[in-house]
């Protein structure tokens, strides 16, 4: 089946829906298509919000799809909004794909609410960064599945993670789609294993929606590269072993988290998993393969130096505030985690960079752009959370001089970083419809591939 025509049926979303709006749309869909769509389970978030699980169709295979495994990544929730409507009303699509679909639009409800401040201001990096929230690994739904490996022993799944575990164990899905997205760059993928029949689709779909492939530095450089912009899904064990090779510190003290959803599902039922990473913002330099005069090693080391300066800045600002920090604020935990684990993590990165002879080749313009500019973009997001932490601390401790000074330092650091980004980026915000289209068509072609090959 050619799924491309479905791209024309995607609504022209002008903004991201809030948690409450998604829940309202879910209930409306169940009411409109009671023979096809039903709510079969209902989980509960840490804060007590309900998490509805939709079931659509009654095929012989099972597919589990969930949005917002990281709460700053709402593109997947919008894709699932589109997919649910298509599956409910397009009978031919439901028959073509012999699946029972289990769908959670937003799995991290609490964290997603903390991002809603930028959902209707999606075209501005500054607005995104000022209203950004992402929890540390040990509070992420995606990275709190149980695992025991050497000194890493994580056995504290979040309630939301436990809901996913129950669904995986109950339905043993043939296909699982964890809906992530990046912030800046191009499109790239993680899949369970080498699947060359899929690669033409994975490479061509972003082009249809005007989004380049990400051809610069991979998210984590030692991931297994299957094809351009396509990587094999990785495990917590691989992260552990990489750290063990490049640092003298116990890797478990740096990781401080559990397994990922795909790692857990593979353990239970050999599920084929997919992640389609698409960005909010892009600059054409993310796909420039021109070779530069500097080596990739030199480019990576220059970025490492900037990362250390950024880590020092975070420590300095928290040091200014002293004891006048709201340690109960959700924004405290990710900032504190970066500070506590960052030094050793950067040491491991440096050891890898210095020891890998393959990095002596010329850097491409895309790789250097990632190291210089995309890294600066992600640092800005944590400076935005630092601003929010200082605001919470001012509200808690009032006119204490230390927290006021720290708050001013955080505001200045954020403003300086935004200025740097505006001076060095020529970015565009990608329409939500296009990002939804990439995730939608990739998911449908992958589901078809699994149906025919596994």
H helix or E strand, kind and range, residue 305: helix 296-321
Helices 296-321 and 375-397: crossing angle, nearest 10°?
0
H helix or E strand, kind and range, residue 382: helix 375-397
Cβ burial, residue 33 (10 Å; 0-12/13-18/19+)? middle
Token pair belonging to 208: 């249809």
| Three-state DSSP state, 276 | strand
What pLDDT is attached to residue 229?
95
Token pair belonging to 131: 């209203």
Question: What pTM did the predictor assign?
Answer: 0.96
| Three-state DSSP state, 220 | coil
d(CA 430, CA 424): 18
Evaluated on CA atoms 323, 324, 326, 328, the torsion sign reads positive
Radius of gyration, alpha carbons of the chain: 22
- The domain locations on the chain are 4-283+430-453, 286-426
**Residue 177 pairs with which residues in a beta bridge?**
65, 274
What pLDDT is attached to residue 414?
98
Closest CA to 178 of 53, 275, 78: 275
- DSSP letter at 289? -
Number of H helices, E strands in the chain: 16, 15
Ranges of residues in the chain with a pLDDT under 50 are none
E-strand spans in 45-149?
Answer: 50-56, 61-67, 99-104, 147-149
Residue 297 and residue 375 in contact, taking contact as beta carbons nearer than 8 Å = no
d(CA 372, CA 352): 19
Residue 323 and residue 399 in contact, taking contact as beta carbons nearer than 8 Å = no
Q: Which CATH class is domain 4-283+430-453?
A: alpha beta
Q: How many other β-carbons are positioned within 10 Å of the β-carbon of residue 48?
A: 9
Closest CA to 427 of 300, 279, 219, 216: 279
Residue 444 and residue 3 in contact, taking contact as beta carbons nearer than 8 Å = yes
H helix or E strand, kind and range, residue 44: strand 37-44
- 259-288: buried (b, 16+ CB within 10 Å) or exposed (e) per residue? bbbbbbbbeeeebbbbbbbbbbbbbebbbb
What pLDDT is attached to residue 223?
82
d(CA 438, CA 274): 13
What pLDDT is attached to residue 219?
83
What are the C-alpha distances in Å from 29 to residues 84, 241, 343?
8, 46, 49
Token pair belonging to 78: 């919008």
What pLDDT is attached to residue 221?
75
Residues 6+ apart with CB under 8 A from 246: 347, 348, 349, 351, 352, 355
Size of the chain, expressed as the number of residues it contains: 454
What are the C-alpha distances in Å from 434 to residues 29, 85, 312, 431?
23, 17, 38, 6
d(CA 332, CA 110): 16
């Amino acid at each position: 089946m050619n799924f491309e025509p479905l791209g024309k049926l995607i609504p022209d979303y002008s903004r991201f829906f809030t948690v409450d709006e998604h829940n309202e749309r879910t209930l409306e869909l169940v009411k409109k298509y009671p023979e096809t769509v039903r709510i079969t389970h209902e989980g509960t978030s840490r804060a007590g919000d309900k998490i509805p699980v939709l079931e659509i169709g009654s095929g012989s295979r099972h597919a589990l799809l969930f949005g917002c495994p990281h709460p700053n990544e709402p593109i997947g929730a919008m894709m699932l909004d589109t997919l649910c409507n298509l599956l409910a009303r397009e009978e031919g699509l439901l028959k073509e794909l012999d699946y029972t679909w289990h769908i959670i639009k937003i799995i991290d409800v609490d964290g997603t609410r903390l991002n809603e401040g930028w959902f209707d201001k999606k075209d501005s990096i500054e607005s995104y960064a000022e209203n950004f929230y992402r929890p540390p690994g040990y509070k992420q739904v995606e990275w709190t599945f149980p695992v025991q490996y050497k000194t890493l022993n994580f056995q504290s799944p979040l309630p939301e993670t436990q809901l996913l575990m129950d669904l995986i164990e109950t339905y043993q899905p043939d296909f699982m789609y964890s809906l992530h997205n990046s912030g800046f760059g191009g499109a790239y993928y993680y899949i369970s294993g080498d699947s060359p029949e899929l690669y033409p689709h994975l490479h061509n779909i972003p082009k249809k929606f005007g989004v380049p492939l990400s051809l610069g530095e991979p998210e984590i450089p030692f991931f297994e590269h299957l094809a351009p912009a396509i990587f094999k899904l990785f495990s917590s064990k691989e992260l552990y072993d990489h750290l063990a090779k490049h640092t003298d510190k116990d890797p478990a003290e740096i990781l401080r988290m559990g397994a990922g959803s795909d790692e857990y599902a593979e353990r239970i039922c050999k599920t084929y998993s997919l992640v389609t990473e698409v960005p909010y913002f892009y600059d054409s330099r993310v796909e420039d393969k021109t070779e530069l005069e500097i080596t990739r090693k030199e480019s990576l080391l220059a970025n490492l130096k900037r990362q250390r300066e950024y880590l020092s800045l975070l420590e300095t600002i928290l040091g200014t505030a002293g004891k006048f920090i709201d340690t109960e604020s959700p924004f405290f935990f990710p900032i504190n985690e970066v500070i506590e684990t960052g030094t050793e993590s950067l040491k491991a990165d440096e050891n890898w960079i210095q020891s890998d002879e393959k990095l002596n080749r010329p850097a491409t313009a895309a790789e250097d752009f990632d190291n210089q500019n995309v890294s600066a973009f992600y640092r800005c997001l944590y400076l935005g959370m630092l601003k929010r932490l200082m605001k919470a601390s001012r509200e808690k401790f009032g006119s204490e001089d230390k927290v006021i000074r720290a708050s001013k330092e955080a505001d200045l650091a954020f403003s300086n970083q935004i200025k740097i980004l505006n001076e060095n980026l020529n970015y565009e915000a990608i329409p939500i419809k296009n990002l939804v289209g990439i995730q939608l068509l990739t998911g449908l072609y992958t589901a078809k591939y699994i149906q025919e090959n596994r």
